[in-house]
Structure 1
Amino acid sequence: MKYRFLCTTAIAVATTLSPVCAFAQDAAQLAVADSGDEGQVVVVTGSYRRSLEKAVDIKRKTTGFSDSIVATDVVDFPEQNLAEALQRMPGVTIERNKGLGTRVMVRGLPAEFTHVSINDLATASGSGGRDVEFDMFASEIIQQVTVHKSPTAADEEGGIAGSVDITTARPFDYKGRKLVAAFEGAHNSISGETDPRMSFLASNTWGDWGALVSFATTKRTNRTDANSGINFRPAFRFLEASGARGTQAADVLARDAGVVVKSRTDRNETGRIIFQDKVGDRVYLNEQDKWGATVALQYKPSSDFNLAFDAMVGSYDSTEDEYDIAAYSASSRSTFETIHAYDKTTLADYGMVVLRDVSYTATQHEFLSKERINETDYAQFGGELNWRGDGWKLRALAGYSGAEKTSDYANLKHVAYAPSRTRWTDKGGETVKSANPASIDMYNASSKYLFEAYETNLESVTDDKAAAQVDYTRFFGLSSFPALQTLQFGLRYTDKSKERQYGALNIQGPTAGSTAWLNTRTLANSELQWIGDIVPGGDYTVSDLDWQQVSNDYARRTFRYAGFYTPFDVSQYYKVDEKVTTVYAMADFAFDLGSVPVAINAGARYVDTTVNSAGYHQVQNPNGTTGYTPAPVSKEGTYQKLLPSLNFTADLMDNLVLRGAASETLMRPALTDLAYKRTASWNSFRFTDGNPDLKPTYARQWEIGIEKYLPEGGLLAASYFSKTIEGVVRSTLTGTVPNVTKYNANGTIDGVYEFDVYQPVNAEGSYDVSGLELVAVVPFGLLHERLQGFGINANYTLLDSSLTGSSTLGIPTAPIGLADNTYNITLYYENDRFDARASYNYKDKYVEGIGYEMYPIYRDGYGQLDISLSYRLSDRAQVSLKGINMTDAVTTGYTMDPSFPTMYELSGRRISVGLRFDF
């Protein structure tokens, strides 16, 4: 059974709260209406406490494990998008990118393991994987979100981590006309910019017909200052070089650190000698322009028949300027000159020596002005039929979801080669002049930097998904078998397609094909501005550094000659089509086991999948001529699977529920991993290929929990879950390509190397993920009458996993993305006119990636405090004050040990003031 919970009063906290939540009515009102197939439509009063109460009610009435947030809670805090709203749910964490929540992870598993649907239709977002980029959705147009953690047979995908079910509003969710508008201004503490935000809803019904329109638009300007890019680099970068470079590297290691290299080609030895790869001081300015709208039409002549059409459209445009001054110590011309400090103890358990402070012979100093322009347009259309007869129910739906994403990337690069000294600091790293007379002050030597290239990349992704489903339910009241309540049968068909075009072109002169600027034009020949003048907000905040750089606006105007465009490269094209047919059957049972009422849902679904991957591979030119030519190639694969599921509840006593679930489910590989394509990582000396033969990742999972329901929507719950996952997709070395010529950006030859080829493959064996989840929703008025209005909403998730990351050096590595501990705590107070809320969410450290397939790179534990205050001026007006990251938390990370930091990012606080009006 599904429930749609809708907020309507004006006493909810957030000014930018979903307009469907904002209409003023009596605070005690609670309207319940039959909606045919959908179960109950519950119109919830607009307070945070009432929204919690209804979310708890959803959890109680659902057979499986789930958690929900309804409209007031979806945008009740100063969230910048839907991902940040979801982070307050039990077991849900998010990835942050420069202060903004992006992808959603359930119970610590990768974002790709979570299935997302809007109005029961799979959602396209234009990403390269199965994950959905939540930052593109305006949270104001979302009505309700439920995270299902145990699947039923009728689900389109179980989702190994879980399924996020997003619901938008419909006109018959209300009684009569609704008209709401909300406005907000938000200020970022670093950029100093104030951004507008607006939302609107209009809904009405006319007899059997109803229509609803909602709209939201947001602008966001956020600045992030960072000292980052400080990764481990294995010493084989220098030791394997021919001639004097390799010999000198070995001699300096022996002279200054007492490290005698036995074999310069044994990477198991040289991969354990570490120096700093690169140190960068960076300023990011991210500007976003986002809007979203929904349209819903309904025909409802009776409670037994309901026909609905839903549309959701929107656009998400993002421009990110990155201004980066960096020292690439591992340049192709350089080697060790002097080792000033080294560390043989911190990572001694792995036989590793870390060179903490080193002077280099020819560091590649870089001024980089980078511009990333992403434009995403998305649309979803769906129709739904609900028809109930005498003892039966029919539901049918069909719809389309599509997204088109274009990414335009540019990088203006100036380079100066000179000796310098690079070392770790408590915030990351720094580069200073070395004792070599030829060393330079890298921040103030613009005439030394030669133009290398204005690099451009252009990518276009089209993501389309279509689905149709028919579901028939038969109700029973058999005297011979009273336990049988329903039998349900269904058929679902989905068609997914992802197409990608990509191209790259470097500009090195004032006209097409010209190289006139190489080795002649310097950084000083361009218009330079102080970094604090290029971006709003003033001086660099991580340290007292200051420098002059080329703005992206000037770079685009100056270096893109008339008629310039980035052509698509046919060899980078791919298209993946996936067709899935699913049939399922399940039954509901209800009976008493002694004095204990028991409800069971049991079923199975059979999935039949066909995948066609088309692209290009490189074929050597005929007749012995040099080079390769892209040739079209395609491959089809199929797989089938039967997936059982079981969910049950037992009411042990009044308001005490035992809940359990067991199932087998799958998550299909990312379409980009299935594609025929080859991507080159020149600095890592490797190619990455797609793999059309990939199969899904499967999971066998179970969960058991106990839930105590308290008055006034209170809840105390604990559950233990376990997942056995097999066929996980990992990137693995599958071959080598000899004699690959690597070029520098200026056209000179860097060298001829053997490149490794990595492919995603289904790893052998399985691993276990288990965890404990605790939930407490407690209105303090239950403890003492003087505490009426106060309360807490808290959850905690503890995870454990047998999975280890893939390190070619055998270094123990936690699974990527899995944090052992996460928790959320919200304290609230509310009365008839005033609301106050403070929420702290925390995610423990986790592995963000594995550098060079060797070294685990960790993101430090991160906690953020958000607040929300609201006062109702009248029945039709409300004012609010909200804040994001009030403690000004810093995002940090490290490689293997905190004494080797990799990043230090400041994104600042965000304070907003808003008004909402009800008409």
Structure 2
Amino acid sequence: MKRNARFRLIAMTGMATILAAPAALAQERQAERQDSQAADSTQAGEEEIIVTGLRESLRRAVDIKRSADNIVDSIVAEDIGKLPDQNIAEAIQRIPGVTISRDNGEGQFITVRGLGPAFSTALYNGRILATENQGREFSFDILPAELINRVDVSKTPTSSQVEGGIASTVDMYTARPFDFGKTKLVVSAQGNYDKLRGEVSPQASGLFSTTFGGGNFGILGAFSYIDRKIEGRRIFTDGWEANQNLDFNRDGTPELTGVSLPTYVEYGVNETNRKRLSGLLTAQARLSDSLVFTVDGLYSKLDVNDDNKVFFVYGGPGDVRSGTVDANNTLTSYTGIASGPMFTNQIRPRLAETYQVGGNLEWKGNGPLSGFLDLSWSKATDDTGGNQAWFESNLAAPGYSPVGVSFKLQNGLPMYSGLGAFDTSNAKVGYLTYEGVSVADEIYQINSELKYETTGLLRAITAGFNYSDRKKERFSYKTPDALQSVFGGVLVPQSVFGEPADASNFFGIDMFPNGFPAYAAADLAAYLLTDAGINASSNPAATRAALAANGGDFGVALVPSNSGSAQERTIGGFVQASFAGDLGSRAWSGNIGLRYTRTDVTSRGFGQEIVSITTPPGLDPIVNLSAPQAITEKGKYDEWLPSANVKVDLFKDVVFQAAVAKTLTRATLSDLLLIRNINPRPRERAITDGNPGLQPMVGWNYDAALTWYIDRSSFVSAAVFQKDLKNLSESVTTTVQILGLDFRRTRPENVGDDRIRGVEFSGQYTFTGLPAPLDGLGVQGNVSFVGDEGNTYNLVGFYEKGPLQMRLAYNHRDAYEQTARGNRGQPVNVAAYGIWDASINFALNDHFTVFAQGLNLFNEKTFLYSVYQERVITYESYGPRYALGIRANF
């Protein structure tokens, strides 16, 4: 739905009228406010000895929230590098309206107020940080929580903020040496225990900061290291084939129509190592009384090595001989034919590196002028290309008959029986490949700002300029088709098999009491490259020729049609006026501004046509393409983005805030690429294209909030918001015919408008008025209602008294639809998810603290399904994790 233009004009005009209230009302209240702030300051100073740790961090977060003219929520570390979670995503999931998605059980992407990861802009010390994933979405697990001192989530923008986040702008701040003015040393070490893996992993962090030269120079360095060993278990179907007709006796008359059934079901045991080494270095120099120069650098390396042993069964509508359905026409049981059983070793690494280097020159003279100039470079890479593997084998055990396999839903999960003994003596090689996509993201940025401050109604005029040049490259690699099938049917030697994958009690379904056979892709590849392996192929001479043409092994080659780059050059500027005064006896403040941005997009790739499709016996089809031809497409757009924020003290300690702004989110970079991915499998034929002509998604945001600040650590707040969106980018699927075959072609397009409305309630309270020892209790909570996008709520209880600090947290998100067109062209839904975390800290003395943590205490599962919960897509668990450690602070 579209917002009426007259309403926008009225909203902006009304906000400007509030901001232009008569200056004559300002004087009396301003003096009262200064006296009150001085009193608060004195009181804070008197309590400083008592109010430390977690409670002090809550105070600082409340101070940020109360002082900002726009609507912002913050997480502040209670001490340098002491955010209470593994990474930034897990830390900010406590903020109202923020939820996260996980990779290997660890938070990676955020969703804010029902809008996905691409709708939030992530800043690191005010700069956009390159990200290693293929889109624009920022991977928050790149940054350990230990390196970040504060995170602000701005839910309403100001014109001075870099555009890009319709949902929010997330700014992560690190400490600077001038923040301390003295020498500071913090070190921490802990052991992490992941219950499913059953191993202890090391984790350590440290920070050193000092100033010298009379306090005019400073240097700060920090690092974080973790080598986490985890294990996951997963059931995966890749979606359900909908609207199928089942003809049991093959007489041309289907017994069941409109049925949904899975194409295949995977059962995976994934041993994963997550190793992350991160560090930052910051130097500051006070060049004069009015000029400070800061240079800082960030490095983070994340290696995720998935070793996924998978057992799967493949079947389809034509294989069913009898079956039953439920009221949703979901196939709940059947007998028939099934290919397999099969098993694979799927290697799915993530080899990410992130860099940023920046320099900032900040000037604040004795007069009304101040400003800064900031230059930075950032780069992120993921060298996964060629390091992924899929090595598949068919068990083909003696005595196994593909007829008579039974399928049923047990405890809501798919399972099979009648598969025969898991005997590996007749196991044969199937499809195999090394593959993967490498990504490089590089950003050059210039940000500048000049501010003129004054007194009276108009407090400041701020203007600024920004420029960025961002290039995202994608390189797809794969073992040549000629080598993917030449070993089909070769017996797998028994020496290749290692320990069976431990899949006993697999989510309560009794398919694998003794596990299932497993091997390492590298071991099978090594055997196949020997004379014995080559001679076992159906045509050894052709096999040797194919290997020789590929350098003698299974090495990968670039897939031009699935590779490309998108480059964005953005130039922009803003002007913003800040106001403050009094309405009678009540203070108010706000800002109104206008930002302009222009973006030029250049997409480069390779065009290739499908020449033919061939199908080797018993294997997947092979697509033969024409020679690649380099192609380039360009696009451009510009936008004017007005915004206004106002804050009014309605009563003593009761603050009303309102905002209206036009915002934009650019199309995610992976959608802008000139790429084409082709899946020729008969039941899955699909083509996925990019679209460099995508326009940005634009939103008009309307927000209002009412907050009662009970004391410096306590508040309750209610907020309402509405986002009117247009040019939404969605995947559009059509049917195209190529070489007489029907393919589903999916391409992102700007389609339609939408409106999101929501309500948020939040608060925190410290029970300082209770008698000891109960005066150490406190509670935080919030709830966000956004309808179909998934309601959320959080609840945190804590206790802090003397040397003891305890914390128990619960985070919940209701079920929601992730996409209307996902796996097999069907909707993908995410089930409700709730997770419990706990921690306890005990200070041995002023310098040493021991602590323990428990995360995902009750082993919550990740559950994705299609429309109805019995249509399982993913059911996954990485289990609880625990930590025990010690921290030193000097």
TM range (shorter): 0.7 to 0.9
Q: Distance in 1 between matches of 2:448 and 2:50?
A: 30
Map of 1:400 onto structure 2? 377
2:558 is paired with a residue whose SS is coil
For the Cα contact (< 8 Å) 2:261–2:331, is it kept in 1? yes
Contact 1:335 1:362 (8 Å CA) reproduced: no
1:553 positional shift: 5.3
Query: In the TM superposition, what whole-angstrom CA distance separates every residue of 1:414-460 from its partner, at most 9, and x where no partner exists?
Result: 12572322222224101112xxxxxx42x614245421132110322
Q: How far apart, CA to CA, are the structure 1 residues paired with 2:562 and 2:238?
A: 30
- Counterpart in 1 of 2:745? 757
Alpha-carbon displacement from aligned partner over 1:859-897 (angstroms, at most 9, x marks no partner): 211111111011111122111111011122233333222
- In the other structure, the counterpart of 1:607 is 597
The answer as to whether partners of 2:153 and 2:168 remain within 8 angstroms in 1 is: yes
1:339 partner letter:
S
Q: Which residue of 2 aligns with 1:554?
A: 523
Change (3 A) 1:173 1:457: same
Q: CA deviation at 1:360?
A: 2.6
Paired amino acid for 1:794: G
Paired residue secondary structure (1:126): coil
Aligned counterparts of 1:627 and 1:679: Cα–Cα separation in 2: 12
1:594 CA drift (Å): 2.8
SS in 1 for 2:333: strand
Question: In the alignment, which of 765, 769, 774 is matched to residue 761 of structure 2?
Answer: 774
Alignment of 1:644-793 (within 5 A): 644-683=642-681, 684-734=684-734, 736-739=736-739, 753-764=741-752, 766-782=753-769, 787-793=774-780
> Within 1, Cα distance between the matches of 2:132 and 2:529?
27
Q: Which residue of 1 aligns with 2:222?
A: 214
C-alpha contact (below 8 Å) 1:293/1:314 kept by paired residues: yes
For the 8 Å contact 1:77–1:882, the answer to whether it is kept is no
Q: Does 1:844 align with 2:817?
A: no
Contact 1:883–1:909, Cα closer than 8 Å, also in 2: yes
Change over 3 Å in CA distance of 1:44–1:457 after alignment to 2:
farther
- Note if contact 1:837-1:869 (Cα within 8 Å) is conserved in structure 2: yes
2:61 partner SS: helix
SS of alignment partner, residue 254 of structure 2? helix
- Tell me, yes or no, if structure 1 residue 595 matches structure 2 residue 547: no
Distance across 2 between alignment mates of 1:875 and 1:137: 28
- Letter aligned with residue 751 of structure 2: A
Cα separation, partners in 2 of 1:493 and 1:61, compared to 1, 3 Å: same
- For the pair 1:71 / 2:77, whether they are aligned, the reply is yes
> Whole-Å Cα distance in 1 between the matches of residues 732 and 779 of structure 2?
46
Residues 75-98 of structure 1, C-alpha deviation per residue, up to 9 Å, x if partnerless? Answer: 757633221111111111000234
Alignment partners' CA distance in 2, 1:518 and 1:556: 13
- Calculate the aligned-residue CA RMSD, in Å: 2.7
> Displacement of 1:760 after TM fit?
0.5
Looking at structure 1, the residues matched to 596 and 674 of structure 2 have their Cα atoms a distance apart, in angstroms, of: 28
Paired AA for residue 499 in structure 2: Q
Q: Is the contact between residue 118 and residue 167 of structure 1 (CA under 8 Å) also seen in structure 2?
A: yes
CA distance in 2, matches of 1:723, 1:560: 58
**1:706-758 CA distance string (max 9 Å, x none):** 01001241011101011001111011135613226xxxxxxxxxxxx221322
What's the counterpart of residue 637 of structure 1?
A: 635
CA drift of 1:792 comes to 0.2
Q: How far has the Cα of 1:549 moved from its partner?
A: 1.4
Match of 1:490, as an amino acid?
Answer: G
- Please tell me whether the aligned partners of residues 30 and 44 of structure 1 are also in contact (alpha carbons under 8 angstroms): no
Q: Alignment partner of 1:58: what SS?
A: helix
1:228 CA displacement: 2.9
Give the match for residue 912 of structure 1. 883
Partner of 2:467: 493
Say whether 1:234 aligns with 2:234: no
Q: Distance in 2 between matches of 1:911 and 1:394?
A: 46
Indicate yes or no: 2:349 matched with 1:370. no
- Unaligned 5+ residue runs, structure 2? 1-41, 397-401, 531-551, 613-623
> Residue 141 of structure 2 aligns to a residue in which SS?
helix
Shift of the alpha carbon at 1:49?
A: 1.0
**Residue in 2 aligned with 1:504?**
478
Contact 1:43 1:173 in 2 (8 A): no
- Asked whether the 8 Å contact 2:480–2:557 carries over to 1, the reply is no
- Look up the match of 1:868: 839
Inter-CA distance 557–48: structure 2 relative to 1 (3 Å threshold): farther
- Kept in 2, the 8 Å contact 1:150–1:158? The answer is no
The amino acid that maps onto 2:572 is: T
CA contact (8 A) 1:225 1:542 kept: no
- Summarize the Cα distance change of 1:621–1:679 in structure 2 as closer, same or farther, 3 Å threshold: closer
2:664 and 2:134 map into 1 onto residues whose CA distance is 19
Change (3 A) 1:516 1:159: closer
1:60 equivalent among 57, 66, 80: 66
How far the C-alpha of 1:364 sits from its partner, in A, is 4.4
Give the aligned partner of residue 804 of structure 2.
Answer: 834
Distance 1:539 1:631 in 2: 52
Question: What code does the residue aligned with 2:201 have?
Answer: D
Q: Measure how far apart 1:195 and its partner are.
A: 0.6
Distance in 2, matches of 1:516 and 1:856, equals 37
Residue 861 of structure 1 aligns to which amino acid in structure 2?
Answer: A
Read off the aligned partner of 1:485 and give its amino acid letter.
R
Q: Equivalent residue of 2:768, what SS?
A: helix
Give 1:337 deviation, angstroms.
3.9
Give the structure 2 partner of residue 628 of structure 1: 626
Within 2, Cα distance between the matches of 1:31 and 1:215? Answer: 32
Q: Which residue does the alignment assign to 1:744?
A: none
State the alpha-carbon separation in 2 of the partners of residues 828 and 627 from structure 1: 62
Question: Residues 449 and 462 of structure 2 are in contact (CA less than 8 Å); yes or no, is this contact kept in structure 1?
Answer: yes
Of 580, 586, 590, the residue aligned with 2:570 is 580
- 8 Å contact from structure 2 (residues 83, 148) kept in 1: no
Paired AA for residue 650 in structure 1 = V
1:552 CA drift (Å): 4.3
Distance 1:30 1:229, change over 3 A: farther
Q: Secondary structure at the match of 1:59?
A: helix
Is 1:281 matched up with 2:267? yes
Residue 106 of structure 1, CA deviation: 1.1
Contact preservation (8 Å) 2:81, 2:147: no
**1:74: how far off?**
9.6
TM-score (norm 2): 0.85
1:100 is displaced (CA, Å) by 1.6
> Following the alignment from structure 1 to structure 2, what is the Cα–Cα distance between the partners of residues 900 and 293?
44
Unaligned stretches of 5+ residues in structure 1: 1-27, 33-41, 240-245, 260-271, 348-352, 434-439, 741-752, 801-813
Mapped pair 1:296 → 2:294: no
How far is 1:567 from its partner? 1.6
Q: Could you tell me whether the CA contact under 8 Å between 2:83 and 2:145 is conserved in 1?
A: no
Which residue, 822, 826, 831 being the options, matches 1:855? 826
Q: How many residues align?
A: 799
Please tell me whether the aligned partners of residues 858 and 895 of structure 1 are also in contact (alpha carbons under 8 angstroms). yes
Which of these residues, 773, 785, 789, is aligned with residue 798 of structure 1? 785
Structure 2 residue aligned with 1:426: 411
What is the distance in 1 between the residues matched to 2:486 and 2:680?
Answer: 25
The question of whether the paired residues in 2 share the 8 Å contact of 1:496 and 1:578 is answered with yes
Partner of 1:20: none
Judge conservation of contact 1:138–1:216 (CA < 8 Å) in 2.
yes
Report the CA distance shift for 1:643/1:74 in structure 2 as closer, same or farther (over 3 A): farther
User: Does structure 2 retain, via aligned residues, the 8 Å contact 1:296–1:311?
Assistant: yes
- Work out whether 1:887 is the aligned partner of 2:866: no
Give the alignment partner of residue 616 of structure 1, picking from 588, 597, 606: 606
Runs of 4+ off more than 6 Å: 28-32, 42-45
Q: Structure 1 residue 599: deviation in Å?
A: 0.9
Q: TM-score, normalised by structure 1?
A: 0.83
Equivalents in 2 of 1:44, 1:279: separation in Å?
58
* Deviations 1:884-915 (CA, angstroms, capped at 9, x unpaired): 11122233333222344444323211111001
